[in-house]
Structure 1
Amino acid sequence: MASTTIQLPREVRNHLAELAGERGLSIRQLVEALAAEYPTAAQRAERLAADREVVRRVIGVGISDEEFDQAPDVRGNICKVAADKARMTRGTVA
Structure 2
Amino acid sequence: MADTTIKVDPDTRDRLMVLARERGMTMRDLLTELAGATPTREELRKRYEATKTYCETHFGVTLTDDDHDRAEQAWKDLEAGRPVDSL
TM class, shorter-length: 0.5 to 0.7
Aligned pair partner of 1:70 in 43, 66, 69: 66
Correspondence for 1:8: 7
Q: Structure 1: any 5+ residue segments left out of the alignment? A: 85-94
The verdict on how the C-alpha distance between 1:16 and 1:51 changes in structure 2, with shifts beyond 3 A counting, is same
Partner of 1:39: 39
Q: 1:51 to 1:4 in 2, by over 3 A?
A: farther
Q: TM-score, normalised by structure 1?
A: 0.57
CA 1:15–1:46 in 2, change beyond 3 Å: closer, same or farther? same
Specify the structure having the higher radius of gyration (Cα): 1
RMSD: 3.4
The separation in 2 between residues aligned to 1:4 and 1:68, in whole angstroms, is 45
Q: What percent identity do the matched residue pairs reach?
A: 25
Which structure has more relative contact order (CA 8 Å, sep 6+)? It is 2
* Structure 1 residues 69 and 23: alpha-carbon distance in aligned structure 2, compared to 1, 3 A threshold: same
Gapped runs of 5+ residues in structure 2? none
